[in-house]
Chain A
Amino acid sequence: MSVAARPQLSHLRALESEAIHVMREVAAEFERPVLLFSGGKDSIVLLRLAEKAFRPAPFPFPLMHVDTGHNFPEVIEFRDRRVAELGERLIVASVQESIDSGRAVEEKGPRASRNRLQTVTLLDAIAQHGFDAAFGGARRDEERARAKERVFSFRDEFGQWDPKSQRPELWNLYNGRIHKGENVRVFPLSNWTELDVWEYIDSEQLEVPSIYFAHEREVFSRDGMLYAWRDGTELIDGEKVFNETVRYRTVGDMSCTGGVRSQAQTLEEVVLEIAATRITERGETRADDRVSEAAMEDRKKAGYF
């Protein structure tokens, strides 16, 4: 192996180093961590950071996906391929099973979403496997409640976040002490922005699911967003299905994640588009955050990521 020249540290490499430090702290201080992998861009970055933190050894934790059953098929296919490449273990926690067993109740109507139900499945899986720490790809630039959240976000035995009494978090000293039944959500990408994530994916040449690039798809327009049409989608009066060239800025449920009109077909083109965008990713693509001024804060208090 060739020996590299004198290192230069860009802000991206500084953020990378900080995230690797966080991951190793978790591995060293928790009994049973887990990394939540959705197949989305942020968790794709988390997997690369885990490789950087722990190779040549295997990851000291399994991966877990909370599968709503409404995911884009391209993302599920990508998820399984990436996990196989890494040779790591994936646990799939199924929202459908939570519904079938009566733990969660499906919402009804054309605007039904499984977004809220994910929390039930996630908390059940954390309890069932005895996980005491869970890595997530959330970033503080995403949303106002997240801007306040710690890197180590303490959750009580009901999985709840209490924004008014968070543990002070100083320097790079993280307090991971918990009692049995409690857990900590850990966000190594806290200080990254959406643009950082794409620049990192580009610089590392990481593969991402095809839906992040411009493609033609059957969509319908609702509340100013373009949703993917699939079998079984209930349309409201006047809504029509049409073909449009779109890409996705976030990967969530098909039922609540909107596409954006785009021609970006390569990583470089996506980076350029994000650098020039005038709308936040959640504002543009996530119906779940539009419910109220404090939609995310309320969901996090209930145990959401």
Chain B
Amino acid sequence: MTLDLLRFTTAGSVDDGKSTLIGRLLYDSKQVLDDQLEHVALASERRGGEGTLDLALLTDGLRAEREQGITIDVAYRYFATAKRRFIIADCPGHHQYTRNMVTGASTADVSVVLLDARRGVLEQSKRHAFISALLGIPHMIVAINKMDLVDYSQERFEELVEEFEGFAAKLSRGPGKLSAGSEQASPRPEMTYIPISALNGDNVVERSELMPWYDGPAHPVLLDVLEQVDVAYDHPYDRPARFPVQWVIRPSGGIGVNGNGSSSDYRGYSGQLASGALRLGEEVAVLPGGGRSRIAAIDTYDGELEEAMAPMSLTLRLEDELDISRGEMICRPEEVPVVAQEIEADICWMDEKPLRAGSRYLVKHTSRSAMAVVDEIGEIVDVHTLERDAPPLELALNDIARVRLRTSAPLVFDPYTSNRRTGSFILIDESSNRTVGAGMITDAT
């Protein structure tokens, strides 16, 4: 199965050409409409860009962003080609907006990391690459931009590829593990390097004639890669089935449903298949309760299915009457996830009020909520050098560190490196109700 919907993330500030690149993708794939173009032309002129079209102005949406010439928050952009539909999470690159970069990266299949060919591998590109890897994005495209300003030099391109490869070797490591035991290394993303000029459109959508040394099928242009890479849901049979129950359908009389008998004895467990596939008649286990049954029906509004696969939303009926409620996980008995109340996770802290050991938060994980206490803060990542430092006393806004948590109820999870949907959680401050942390579970402790 191939899903023709791809999510990718970009990050950076105005001067590295990120917005220009997105503008170029939208413009060259003919997704910019006349009134938007007119708008950009007017705004470009107002800002003094005489006669030129500042494609970057297509993407910055808020008044403050246009005034200050920066991207503050994630913006989502949409375009389509004959092969795929694309969702771009366009993120700010500056350190103070790290949390927004994490947000945009959380759902992406691909990250496009931009380098300025003149300036080389700067801190911001490294941070984006690090966060992309930490958030488990499987593919990374390093777009070496502004090749027009280095005379389309192959030598410069190869120099930068080598430099970035040296840095990328470190990407598979997150913060160090707190408890003893072997570290589960996150897989290194698959890398593609492409020399481009977003300004002139070289190797973005159209192949550049100015870089004949970058040619042939082994050297795809940016859009080719985006159209061809696998997305997370492409291989449902290779992954364990995970079905977090979101909602129980039990009609109290009233509207009937075709062929499902009288609606009064209908009891269906609704949710979205987070990974894998499930078949009619298969034996299932329900966690953390531990009940067993078989799938009696896979219901959708459009009829019953013999088989369902991620990321479909559906309703399961089971052969036995189990008392299942929201927050429980349905899976196959031979491939169960971890059930634990003490976990280790990498946390990106997102709030002005710092995280301290001993603090309590609400944790939201799959369709389950519980209270969590921070037992210990481990090594922190210096987001400037990307080196690991000794455990701090507290985590400030945008800090990323390893943390040990205890929860009031068991969580049913997989390590984030093997399943992004069942390995992720958010922390909510109960007094402010703000989302204060993003967590990626590494293991039970």
Contacts and interface: CB of A to CB of B under 8 A. Distances in A.
Interface stretch (B95-103, B168-176, B333-341): B95-103
Interface string A159-174: 0000110111111110
Contacts of B33: 277-280, 283
Contacts of A28: 246-247, 326, 367
Q: Counting chain B CB atoms within 10 Å of each CB, which of A8, A11, A168 scores highest?
A: A168
B73 A148 contact: yes
B255 interface: yes
| A: contact size bracket | 35 or more
Interface of B: 1, 3-5, 33-36, 39, 43, 60-64, 66, 72-78, 80, 84-85, 87, 99-100, 102-103, 106-107, 233, 246-247, 249-252, 254-260, 263, 266, 270-272, 280, 300-309, 311-313, 326, 350, 362, 364-365, 367, 420-421, 424-426, 428, 430, 433-435, 438
A94 interface: no
Interface of A: 1-11, 13-18, 20-21, 24-25, 27-28, 51-58, 87, 140-141, 144-145, 147-148, 163-164, 166-173, 175, 177-179, 190-191, 193, 195-196, 277-280, 283-284, 293-294, 297
A58 B251 contact: yes
Contact of A167 (B5, B311, B435): B435
A172 to B, nearest CB: 7
A100 to B, nearest CB: 35
A145 B61 contact: yes
B428 A1 contact: no
A293 B35 contact: no
B3 A9 contact: yes
23 contacts: A1-B259, A1-B260, A1-B304, A4-B305, A7-B307, A7-B309, A9-B1, A9-B309, A14-B5, A20-B272, A24-B271, A24-B313, A28-B326, A52-B301, A52-B313, A56-B260, A87-B255, A140-B76, A147-B61, A164-B72, A164-B73, A169-B103, A280-B33
Contacts of A172: 107, 272, 421
A289 to B, nearest CB: 10
A55 B301 contact: yes
Contacts of B80: 193, 195
Given A52-B313, A53-B313, A175-B435, 10 more contacts: A5-B306, A53-B247, A55-B255, A140-B76, A144-B60, A145-B62, A164-B62, A167-B435, A294-B62, A297-B63
B304 A173 contact: no
B1 A8 contact: yes
B4 A10 contact: yes
Nearest to A282: B35
B306 A15 contact: no
A17 B258 contact: no
Nearest to B274: A172
Contacts of A27: 247
B227 to A, nearest CB: 13
A279 to B, nearest CB: 5
B61 A148 contact: yes
